[in-house]
Amino acid sequence: MGVPSRSQIYRVLPQLVRRGLAESREIEQQGRPDKALYRLTDRGLDVLRDWVERVEEEPGAATNVYFLKLFFAAVASPGAAQGQLDAYRQVVQRRLGELEEMERNLASDATVYDQIALRHGIIRTRATLAWADEAEATLHRAHAR
């Protein structure tokens, strides 16, 4: 899951309005077409909060869902961000285990390119785990206040 395009976002916004999850109003602009301003309704905020609170243990290839939920975590309970971070950490730890197992069992005829690519994956995955540790410490400090 990549970053949605602007056209994708603008297609979804009217659907949110039709479902009662958002509302919009037109803003008049000088020398430009009017623009629509959108805001969540109370029902939309409840739906967003429920989504952020729900931990998806295996979101498939779409691990970006964890970051999206962390981004919106301010609308949910303090434990929601920690739950998303914990679930993401588990996914990353599993991936690191898989990569380290591949490295231990690397064929004797593996090319230098195989080794380079594998090391990239391992180092990047370890860096992600270090980020998760840092993020967790930041959450603890923020929630302690």
- Residue 1's pLDDT is 47
Torsion of the alpha carbons at 8, 9, 11 and 13, rounded to the nearest 10: 160
What is the 8-class DSSP label of residue 27?
A: E
Which token pair is 94?
């599993």
Residue 60 pLDDT: 66
Sort strands 22-27 and 35-40 into parallel, antiparallel or unpaired: antiparallel
Nearest to 73, CA basis, from 50, 52, 54, 88: 52
For the chain of 145 residues, list the mean pLDDT of each consecutive stretch of 10.
73 94 94 92 96 84 82 92 94 96 94 96 97 96 87
pLDDT at 6: 78
How crowded is residue 131: how many other Cβ atoms within 10 Å of its Cβ? 14
125: three-class secondary structure by DSSP: helix
Identify the pLDDT of residue 3: 63
In this structure, are residues 77 and 52 in contact, taking their beta carbons and an 8 Å threshold?
Answer: no
